[in-house]
Amino acid sequence: MTSGVQGITETDIANYLANTPGFFERHAELLGSVQLTSPHGQRAVSLQERQMEMLRDKIRGLEGKIIEMIRYGQDNVSIADRLHRWTRTLMLVAQPADLPGVLVRELMHQFMIPQAGIRVWGAAAGFATHDFAQPVGDDIKLFAGSLSLPYCGVNSGFEAAQWLAEPTGAKSMTMIPLRADAAESTPTAAFGMLVLASPDPTRYTADMGTEFLARIGEIAGAALSRLLPVRG
CATH number of the domain bearing residue 118: 3.30.450.40
55 inside domain: no
66 inside domain: no
In this structure, are 203 and 131 located in the same domain?
yes
Q: Rounded distance, CA 12 to CA 92, Å?
A: 73
In this structure, are 18 and 110 located in the same domain?
no
In this structure, are 101 and 172 located in the same domain?
yes
Amino acid identity of residue 221, one-letter, is G
What residues contact 219, with CB distance under 8 A and at least 6 apart? 83, 86, 87, 90
pLDDT for the residue 220: 97
In this structure, are 123 and 174 located in the same domain?
yes
167 inside domain: yes
Nearest alpha-carbon partner for 122 in 222, 221, 176, 192? 192
* 3-state SS, residue 40: coil
In this structure, are 142 and 193 located in the same domain?
yes
Q: End of a domain among 50, 68, 84?
A: 50
Q: With beta carbons less than 8 A apart as the criterion, state whether 152 and 174 touch.
A: yes
pLDDT for the residue 29: 65
Q: With beta carbons less than 8 A apart as the criterion, state whether 115 and 164 touch.
A: yes
Model pTM score: 0.70
Total residue length of the chain: 232
- pLDDT tens across 121-153, in order? 989 999 999 999 999 999 999 999 999 999 999
* The total number of structural domains that make up the chain: 2
45 inside domain: yes
In this structure, are 99 and 44 located in the same domain?
no
Burial 66-83 (b: 16+ CB within 10 A, else e): eeeeeeeeeeeeeeeebb
Q: Rounded distance, CA 137 to CA 163, Å?
A: 12
Q: With beta carbons less than 8 A apart as the criterion, state whether 195 and 152 touch.
A: no
What residues contact 141, with CB distance under 8 A and at least 6 apart? 121, 190
195 inside domain: yes
Query: What's the CA angle centered on 191, arms 186 and 172, to 5 degrees?
Result: 95
Render each residue's pLDDT in the chain as its tens digit; 232 residues.
444 456 788 888 778 877 887 776 676 666 666 666 666 666 655 666 767 777 877 888 888 788 778 877 777 788 889 999 999 999 999 999 999 999 999 999 999 999 999 999 989 999 999 999 999 999 999 999 999 999 999 999 999 999 999 999 999 999 999 999 877 767 678 999 999 999 999 999 999 999 999 999 999 999 999 999 987 5
Nearest alpha-carbon partner for 130 in 225, 218, 227? 227
In this structure, are 26 and 103 located in the same domain?
no
pLDDT for the residue 18: 79
102 inside domain: yes
Q: End of a domain among 32, 50, 68?
A: 50
Give residue 32's domain range.
5-50
In this structure, are 110 and 34 located in the same domain?
no
